[in-house]
Structure 1
Amino acid sequence: MKVAIIGSSGGNLFNLGGRQPDKLLGEIIAQCGSAQLDITAIQFIAAEESMDIAKDKTGASLYSWDPVQQVVVQGETLTLADINQLAKREDEQLATRIEQGEVDGIIVMSGDPTGVNAASIAAAAAKGIPIVGTGGTSMAQISSKGANVIATSGTTGTTNRTRAVSFVTALCKHWKIKYMPVIGTQSAAEANAVGSISIWRRINFKGIMQASLPGFIAMAIVLALGKIPALASLSSVFDIIVGALPVLIAVVAAKQVAELDEVSIVAGVIAGVLSTDGGIIGGMIGGILAGILVHYLFILCVQWRFPMTTVNIVAGGLAGLVAGLLMYFLVSPIALQLGEWVKQLISAMIDFNPILAGIIGGLLIWPAIIAGVYHAAILPIVLLEMEHTGNSFLGAVDMVGLVMVSAGITLANIVGPRDKGEAAVATPGFLINMGFGTFVEAAYPFMFSNKLVFAGAIIASGIGGGLVGLFAVRGTAYVPSFAAPYLSDNPIGFVVAMLASLLVAFSITLVANKTIKAKV
């Protein structure tokens, strides 16, 4: 089926995606591609300000479709009056194509059925082809002309994605074509290859935790600043951030699962606020439930041909409320207890023998990250530890065992590399590890090419972890290395552990490099 897209950046639409026509049209094109609908024409006027206040001299561009390259083409910027004249000529050409049967359906956004879109709308009405669109006034005028309008809505509360999904869903239902929305960065080709997009496949605990990490780092920074006598009042800010963490995770979870932009964000906020009693585990569960409900309620409401504004209200508001109430009355106490059990287990191990716990953590953390289980297993525990205290035992092991060891290995390859080329490779890795507390993968090329360096990384990490246990340090990674001690509960102990890991890794790597050079 061949679809034409017509209209303008609109009045209210301008503030809801119309000011970025490339993204607005790109979302529609992606959804059409998922349903295997062909774009046959685009006639879209994009003004530099809302049509509610635009004048004839307002700058504007005319967007069209290149059928050969299959891309949207932006015309030159002229006055709105001149663009309207160009649009009328293209509209007459489109009307001819409609009359010749080259267009099977039309998507309209803030169209002008009595002006620049008059010819194509009249032709579509005569042919009886289905029309979907947004813009309350314009769609009402289109209907009054006898056009076959199968779905219509205002623009309030809509997003580029929700509008596009609504348009394509209505057309596909009319034509009895199977369609699954393209979500996130997945291409239409990928969607067609798998045949459908399962909502359950978008539930990724690791991804949710990683995306939420900046909030925990912000909490750790506030905790550290609050220790300064002049900034003692920040302790109340720390409490606020701690209480907001479940909401943060719920929003991230809902957005990742539903991928419906602001609709899923609203649902996540509502669910998260009602999930705070369950801690960060409760926030994650509440957000996931909200995302799932948003997905299904959105599709259901679109299929029932609710106005898009109503669809968003139902999907965002009701999904968040239902998920939140389930959490508040049923799941939150269980989620909170699960989190407490994890923290109690870590505390029990540390209480039994903190040095042994640190050594074991240090020895295992490199195999964990190389095997790809660090972010799935260790990071969630770090965040659970940080939830109420702002720092973490495993977070400190992370800094000394991964970041400092990687920094030591890369520093050795700057000072005494096997060849000059390795120094250029090692320098960015060292600077990033020291400056940002991340990018431990910079050590991989040197570890994987030399067994002694690899063993040295494990040994240095174990020693650093043991010192973390000895000094009972709780801290965090993912911050500048020079700032990490100030975010811990034992700055001096943390500095000793960090330096020990770095120096051991540095020394072993240097020896390994010199040994290889001596053999050569």
Structure 2
Amino acid sequence: MKRIAIVGSSGGNLYNLGGKEPEKLLGEILVQSSSVNLEVAGVQFVAAHGTMDMVRGDTQATVYSWDADAKQPAAVFQGSLEECNEYARQLDEAIAQQITNGTIDALIIMSSDPDGANRSVIKAAVERQIPIVGTGGTSMATVSSKGAKVILSSGTTGTTNRTRAISFVTALCKQWKIKYLPVIGNAKERGKVTAGSWRRINIRGIMMASLPGFIALALVLAISKIPGLSGLSPVFDLLIGALPVVIAAVAAKQVSDMEEVSIVAGVLAGILSQQGGIIGGMIGGIGAGLLVNFLFRKCIEWRFPTTTVNIIAGGVSGLVSGLIVYYLLAPVALWAGDHVKMLIETCVAFSPVLAGLIAGLLIWPAIIGGVYHAAILPIVLLEMEKTGNSFLGAVDMVGLVMVSAGITLANIVSPREKSEATVAAPGFLVNMGFGTFVEAAYPFMFSNKVVFGGAILSAGVAGMLVGIFNVRGTAYVPSIMAPLLSNNLLGFAISMASGLVCSFVITLFANKWAKRASQSAKQQAAG
């Protein structure tokens, strides 16, 4: 029997992907872990009543701990976020002592606060070198930088409560050589209608979860350019038409959370909403999700047979919502989407160099400030809807991914301290290999103002080159593949190289300067 502890918070991006429903988030981990006899021995989870990207000290929150008698997480304290963090520190000390005593074998962390509410736990985990799995790009980068034994680390974009729980337990079971088969579905939840459907409507969460569909579109576009494979062009057109269906299915699933029933409703609504583009698909899917919960509840109250309940909730909900969009809302939704894209195109046409420079200079402040996932990524997907690639998507790749890769590479080649090379290596490999995890550069940026300024400058230069070459592209793909998915292979490759080289050189000089200053200080102290 292995014992695990779960620590963290509802997070910023995580809040939109399950964090605002802490019981379900923690419950899914409990379902997966208990299926292989992984015992939960401690919980310290701070659930804010809003995304951490925009909270204040007086934002209300709830602290969850582990009820050993009931063998489930339980709310133990409510108050302002500041008060909850103070209370959570008591749980932090208790779980840290369990780790020190050897009664906890692993940690699951989500959007943690390694230098605050989770400081003692992380410190104890580092000292004992117990395996850690978790999500939250910023926090995981910090945890790794402290020397923790992280065996699984990722951001939260595109994840769900279930996929996160499965990935956590899979990694731990692989570490301990335990056979594990994921549990899909929870018998206790089956047939229930979760309250608060309106609160689960979150546009950016829907868009982010739909990202794989857009990447597939970009891949088909790239493959269709290969000589002899031009016959894939109709497939590209077909995929463009299918994007509203993807968006609708995701929207219905997130809003209703009724598993297959909500997916069927979303697909039906999406098919009927295609003329409204991805905005029309989103409206249709949200409407279908709301109707699924309403009709499901009513049919249960009317004591319809379960099969009939599913047919009505899934079929009628999708049809009604889809027909409303088809006959009434599709033209308005299409007009809105076209005007967003037209605004971007107008700015780029006015001065592509200036547009690229401004976008590059602002993209790091945007992601650090929580604006990226709220505004930039949805616009990227709107751009990709028609052409399979995007101006802002190209800036994302050259200004975030490649700059982060350059910073981490410099800390591999010439770190300020030897331990930083070990921290930087995984971040560099993930950025280059998968086009994501830009947060790997945070520890180095936040600890050195020159590196921070160099990141912004490098992103500005790379963005300017995107404008000069009139590049359209995307991130979230391997760096070697990214130019192939763009409209200008050479131009995108040069822009990417500029972001990497510029940030690499600046970070290299910053590290050398910092090392000299440190050595000089030591000599003066010794003298």
TM range, normalised to the smaller chain?
0.5 to 0.7
Shift of 1:230: 0.9
Of 386, 390, 400 in structure 1, the residue corresponding to residue 398 of structure 2 is: 400
CA distance in 2, matches of 1:266, 1:443: 41
Looking at structure 2, the residues matched to 283 and 323 of structure 1 have their Cα atoms a distance apart, in angstroms, of 10
Q: Does 1:463 align with 2:461?
A: yes
Q: Distance in 2 between matches of 1:256 and 1:161?
A: 17
Q: Which has the larger radius of gyration?
A: 1
Matches within 5 A, 1:219-298: 219-298=217-296
Q: Report the Cα distance in structure 2 between the residues aligned to 1:450 and 1:293, rounded to whole angstroms.
A: 52
Instruction: Extract structure 1 runs of 4+ deviating beyond 6 A.
Output: 159-163
Question: Residue 230 of structure 1 aligns to a residue in which SS?
Answer: coil
Q: C-alpha distance in 1, partners of 2:437/2:295? A: 40
Compared CA separation, residues 485 and 456, structure 1 to 2 (3 A): same
1:56-455 correspondence to structure 2 within 5 Å: 166=191, 181=193, 183=194, 197-455=195-453
The share of aligned pairs that are identical, in percent, is 65
Residue 48 of structure 1 aligns with which residue?
A: none
Instruction: Evaluate the alpha carbon distance shift between residue 353 and residue 303 of structure 1 in structure 2; reply closer, same or farther with a 3 A threshold.
Output: same
CA distance in 1, matches of 2:378, 2:205: 11
Give the conservation status (yes or no) of the 8 Å contact 1:464–1:500: yes
SS at match of 1:477: coil
AA of the residue aligned to 1:452: V
Q: Which runs of 5+ in 1 are unaligned?
A: 1-21, 27-66, 72-158, 169-180, 184-196
TM (normalized to structure 1)?
Answer: 0.64
CA distance in structure 1 between the aligned counterparts of 2:234 and 2:509, rounded to whole angstroms: 50
User: Aligned-pair distance for 1:435?
Assistant: 0.4
Corresponding residue SS for 2:238 = helix
SS in 1 for 2:480: coil
Q: Deviations over 1:141-180 (max 9, x none)?
A: xxxxxxxxxxxxxxxxxx96799565x7xxxxxxxxxxxx
Partners of 1:68 and 1:358 in 2: CA distance? 58
Q: How far apart are the structure 2 equivalents of 1:198 and 1:247?
A: 24
Task: Name the CA distance, whole Å, in 2 between partners of 1:514 and 1:305.
Answer: 73
The 2-side partners of 1:306 and 1:254 are apart by 22
Note the aligned Cα RMSD (angstroms): 2.0
Deviations 1:193-229 (A, max 9, x none): xxxx311111111211111111111110110111112
Q: C-alpha deviations, 1:277-321, integer Å up to 9, x for none?
A: 000111111100100010111111111211111111111011000
Letter in 2 for 1:200: W
CA separation of 1:452 and 1:285: change in aligned 2, threshold 3 A: same
Residues of 1 paired with 2:188 and 2:287: CA distance? 23
Cα distance in structure 2, aligned partners of 1:376 and 1:336: 21
State the Cα deviation string for residues 53-81 of structure 1 (Å, max 9, x = none): xxxxxxxxxxxxxx97769xxxxxxxxxx
One-letter code aligned to 2:436:
T
Aligned-partner Cα distance in 2 for 1:319–1:405: 46
Q: Is contact 1:209–1:249 with CA below 8 Å preserved after alignment?
A: yes
How far apart, in 2, do the equivalents of 1:471 and 1:373 lie? 26
Q: Is this contact kept in 2: 1:161–1:260, CA < 8 A?
A: no
Quote how far apart the aligned CAs of 1:510 are.
0.8
Distance 1:350-1:69 versus aligned 2 partners, 3 A rule: closer
Alignment CA distance shift 1:349-1:266 (3 Å): same
Taking the aligned partners of 1:321 and 1:432, their CA distance within structure 2 comes to 42
Output the CA distance in 2 between the equivalents of 1:327 and 1:336: 11
Distance 2:427 2:440 in 1: 5
Q: Distance in 2 between matches of 1:214 and 1:269?
A: 16
Aligned to 2:470: 472
Q: In 1, Cα distance between the equivalents of 2:422 and 2:205? A: 32
Cα distance between partner residues in 2 of 1:305 and 1:226? 53
1:28-67 Cα deviation digits (max 9, x unpaired): xxxxxxxxxxxxxxxxxxxxxxxxxxxxxxxxxxxxxxx9
Residues 509 and 164 of structure 1: CA distance in aligned 2, closer, same or farther (over 3 Å): closer
CA distance in 2, matches of 1:457, 1:68: 50
Give the letter for the 2:371 counterpart.
V
Distance 1:237 1:516, change over 3 A: same
Which residue in 1 is equivalent to 2:164?
A: none
CA contact 1:162–1:260 (8 Å) conserved in 2? no
Per the alignment, in what secondary structure is the counterpart of residue 210 of structure 2? helix
Does the 8 Å CA contact 1:411/1:426 hold for their aligned counterparts? yes
**TM-score, normalised by the number of residues in structure 2:** 0.63
- The code of the aligned residue for 1:264 comes to S
- For 2:240, give the aligned amino acid: V
Equivalenced residue count is: 344
8 A Cα contact 1:397 1:464, kept in partner:
yes
Q: What is the distance in 1 between the residues matched to 2:190 and 2:216?
A: 36
Match of residue 485, structure 1, among 483, 486, 490: 483
- Distance in 1 between residues matched to 2:376 and 2:69, nearest whole Å: 50
In structure 2, C-alpha distance between the alignment counterparts of 1:398 and 1:256, rounded to whole Å: 26
Q: Is the 8 A contact 1:163 1:308 kept in 2?
A: no
